[in-house]
Amino acid sequence: MQTRKIGTLEVSAIGLGCMGMSFSYGPPKDTAEMTKLLQGAVERGITFFDTAEVYGPYLNEELVGAALAPFKGKVVIATKFGFDLSTQPNFAAGGPRLSSHPQHIKEAVEGSLKRLQVECIDLLYQHRVDPAVPIEEVAGAVKDLIAAGKVKHFGLSEANATTIRKAHAVQKVTALQSEYSLWWRRPEERELAVLEELGIGLVPYSPLGRGFLTGTIKTGADFGKGDFRAALPRFTPQAMATNQALIDVLTGIAEGKKASTAQVALAWLLQQKPWIVPIPGTTKLNRVEENIGAVSANLSAADLAAIDVAAAKVTGGRYPEALEQMTGR
């Protein structure tokens, strides 16, 4: 497995998003099976794992912490704070209330440390920008946690360029985690330039468009009970029918390279910048292996040009309006 640097943190070129093992894509998956998956990913060279206290809530951190305990010092675990979890989150209705007050951050970190079974969190993100708390106060609270030896690196998620600069002035930001893929390219408008200027890495979540860019999702009938994608505008029948044109282009390129459609979509991301590390999520080990293969799938200038033309025609919002308002943009 190749490695890349996000800020000063060295990780595998492909990470693993763990949310779907416990949250959002139907009921939580079998713990024993997911433990085998996580450990199998390490054995295949993945060293970068992404979780959050809200995934479950708490279940995903517990799963990841227990599964990766035998690999302490060999893997990087990223987690997130930023929500009031006193009530069960309902993301289809807008999600839980944001909360990034300094005292709440410190309390959240104590919980994450216990669930992850670590003494220090490798990478701690603010999950969503909280408009009620100045970002300077958030960065200051994380700076204190770093000084106390409870956190190593600070990250932001779905923050805009202005917020990134303000936070970085107080505490160095190692990584920005934002949605970025062939069907959501908003970070190209402002954030990528700021990240390059400040030496901050980008960790794209949903790099495969929540599965759509794999070419395996044709209709809403492919979703199981409790799958939050059924409520997303981009997964309406009309949007999926229109966006199939992008899949057709990716599949055509993949066939010529003896690769998969998903590998081409991930290769496109990897070729944008050397400090981009996508974290595709999966609950199947063969998909982990497939995603790793994207590292060696090289795209030509002609491939990239054809993909750009098709991606420009993608349609449909990525979230319902209530959730989109929480992205910090």
Helix (H, G, I), strand (E, B) or coil at 36: helix
Angle between helices 161-170 and 135-147 in degrees, nearest 10:
40
Q: Tell which phi-psi region holds residue 274, choosing left (phi > 0), alpha (psi between -120 and 50) or beta.
A: alpha
H/E stretch holding 202 reads: strand 201-205
For strand 48-50 and strand 76-81, is the pairing parallel, antiparallel, or unpaired? parallel
How far is 103 from 139, CA to CA, in rounded Å?
13
CA dist 254 → 28, 92, 160, 243 (Å): 32, 34, 33, 17
Enzyme catalytic residues: 55
CB 279 within 8 A of CB 16: yes
Mapped onto helix, strand or coil, the DSSP state of residue 79 is strand
